[in-house]
Amino acid sequence: SRMSPPERLEDALRRAKCVHPRAALDAAIARMASAISAEYEGGERPLYLTLMHGGMVFAAHLAVALSIDVEFDYLHATRYRGATSGGALRWIKPPQVSLRDRRVLLVDDILDEGRTLLAVREYCEGARAADVRVAVLCEKLHSRRVAGIAADYAGLTVPDRYVFGFGMDYHEQGRNLPAIYAL
C-alpha cells in the first residue's frame, strides 16, 4: 500500500493548534541567550555547531541574541533507520572545524527521543572536544527519551504531538513559519 502524499501545509495549519506564538519564542530565546552568554563569558570562544536543517532558524535567532562571540560551523547527519544499525549516524556534512580541545555548543530545534543529538554529542566527544553542551528551542514532553542525553539549555516544552514551524517541518513544509504548531 503506497502512502498517500502529505496534505498541503494550508490544510495542516487549519487542523493544527498554535502552541507557541512568535512572542513566546522570542522571550525563550532571549532567556537562553542570557544564560549561555553568562556561562561562556570570559572563557574560550565556543564553537557554535548548528544541526541542519531543523536547527537553522532557531540557531540564527539565538546567535544574534548572544552577547559573546562564537565561531560558526554546522553539521548535517541523519540516523540509519535499519534494524541492525543501532541508530548509527550517516554524515551528510560533518563539522569542518577541528573540535579538539574546543568548547562546543550544539544547537538544534528540538530534543525529542534524543538519538541523533546523543550520537552527535558522542561524535564531538570522540573528536576530543573539551566540553560539549546542548541548546534546544523545544523539549518534547514524553517518556521515550534515550538515556544519556539532556539539554543544558532549553527554551520551551511542546506536547507529545507532531510539531512544526520555526525550523521544524511538516513533511518538508512550514519550516519558516514564525510560530510552533502541533497536530
Determine the Cα–Cα distance for residues 138 and 70; give it in Å rounded to an integer: 22
- For the chain, count helices (H), then strands (E): 4, 9
Q: Give pLDDT tens digits for 92-143.
A: 999 999 999 999 999 999 999 999 999 999 999 999 999 999 999 999 999 9
Question: Catalytic positions, please?
Answer: 112
Alpha carbon separation from 9 to 61, 77, 158 (Å, rounded): 24, 25, 20
**In angstroms, what is the C-alpha Rg of the chain?**
17
- Choose among 103, 8, 7, 87: nearest CA to 46: 103
Distance of CA 12 to the CA centre of its chain: 22
Whether pTM > 0.85 for this model: the answer is: yes
